[in-house]
Amino acid sequence: MSMKKLFTMVCVALMTLAASAQSKVYVTRQITPAALVKIYKALGVKAEGRVAVKVSTGEGSNPNYLKPELIKDLVYEVDGTIVENNTAYGGDPNDVRNNSENHWRVIDRHGFTKYFPVDIMDEYDEIRIPVRDHTHLNYDIVGGHMANYDFMIALNHFKGHPMGGYGGALKNLSIGCASQNGKAYIHSAGKMNKLDARKLWTPEMIGDQDGFLESMAAAAQAVVNYFQKQEGIIYISVMNNMSVDCDCVDHPAPVKLKDYGILASTDPVALDQACVDIINQQKVTAESDPTDLLKRIDKQHGTHTIDWAEKIGLGSKKYKLISIDK
C-alpha cells in the first residue's frame, strides 16, 4: 500500500470519527442554587486558580437576569469573582451600563456586591487576544482584567436577543467578554475597533447580519482558546425567564415561555444547540408559548452563529443529553 493511499485512509477514518463524536450536555429540570452546584460537579472539571464567573448583571430595570441568590452557592463553591464588561449603547443613566460609574450603580442595585467580589474587566484597560478565524476579525478585544484569571465559568441566562436572535453561551463568551471597543468590533464585523456610539448603530456598520454572527463565533473561540491555555473553561446555561429580549434590554417583552431547567457542557456549541433544540420542542399551551422566541431566532438568523462556530472548529452540534435528575 502506498503512503499516499495510507494517508488518505487515515484522514477519512479521522473525519468519520470526528463526525460521529457527540459532546455531552448535562441537564436538570431544577432551577435552584443546589442544582447549579450539582450540574457544575457533573461536568467533572474542577475550577482551579483564580476563577472568573462571567454572567450578565442585567440592565437596570430588566427583571430577568440571573439573580445573585440563585448563583451564589456556585460562586462560593469555586471561590469565584463575578466578571463583566461595560456596554456599547446609551440609555437612561440610572439603568444603562455604558460606563463604569453607571455600571457599578446597577451592579450594586441588583445585589451582586452584597454577595461577591465583582470585576468590570474593561474598567481601566483592554487587551487583544488572537482569533483563529480571520474572516472578519484580526483579533478579539477583551477587558484587560481577563488576564487576571486562570479559569472561567461562562454562566449565561438563555433567552432571546434583538440582534443575535438568542443569547446563550456563544454570545456570553463573545460580546459578554468584549470590552466596549471589542463590542463595536464584533457588531460591525471588523469595521470599527474603537467605539463611536453615534456611528456604530447605523446600517453602514451593522448591516451585515451574518458577518456579525460569524464575528461572534470567532470572538467566542478566541476566549475559549485563551482559557484552554490557562486552567480551563466550562459553560452553563440557565433556561428561565426566557423573554424574546436579552438582559441588556431595559424593559423586555413579557415572558411567555415556561422555565425549563439548567444545562451544562464543556462544548459551547453543543450547549447552545441543545438549548435551541429544547425551545423548538416546546408545545404551545395556555401557560407556555415558544412562538415569539422561535420567530426572533429565525428573523435574526440566530442559529447561523452555531453553524459558523462548528465550521471554525469551536465545537460540535452533535450532542448527547444526559439528565442528572433522579
**If you average pLDDT over residues 125-131, what whole number do you get?**
98
User: What number is the average pLDDT over the span 298-322?
Assistant: 98
Give the three cell numbers for residue 28.
436538570
Stronger pLDDT, 91 or 148, i.e. the higher one: 148
pLDDT exceeds 50 at position 121:
yes
C-alpha 276/C-alpha 191 separation (Å) is 29
pLDDT of residue 19: 44
Tell me the three state secondary structure of residue 161: strand
Across the range 239-261, mean pLDDT stands at: 92
Which DSSP category does 178 fall into? B
Q: Would you say 121 and 82 are in contact if contact means Cβ atoms under 8 Å apart?
A: no
Q: Within a 10 A sphere around the Cβ of 11, how many other Cβ atoms?
A: 10
Q: Answer whether residue 254 shows pLDDT above 50.
A: yes
Closest among 142, 106, 120, 124 to 227, alpha carbons compared: 142
Cell 470585576 found at: 119
CA 272/CA 305 separation, integer angstroms: 10
Q: Which three cell numbers stand for residue 14?
A: 479521522
13-72 pLDDT, tens digit per residue, is 444 444 457 999 999 999 999 999 999 999 999 999 999 999 999 988 889 999 999 999
What mean pLDDT value characterizes the chain?
93
Domains in the chain, ordered, with CATH? 21-323 (3.40.50.11440)
Is the pLDDT at 247 greater than 90? The verdict is no
Read off the pLDDT of each residue in 234-242 and give the average, rounded to a whole number.
98
Ramachandran angles phi, psi of 251, nearest 5°: -130, 80
Rounded distance between C-alpha atoms, residue 130 and residue 222, angstroms: 6
The pTM (predicted TM-score) of the whole model is 0.92
Report the alpha-carbon angle 124-125-129, nearest 5.
155
Residue 316 CB neighbour total at 10 angstroms: 17
Q: For residues 27 and 283, give the distance between their C-alpha atoms in angstroms, rounded to a whole number.
A: 19
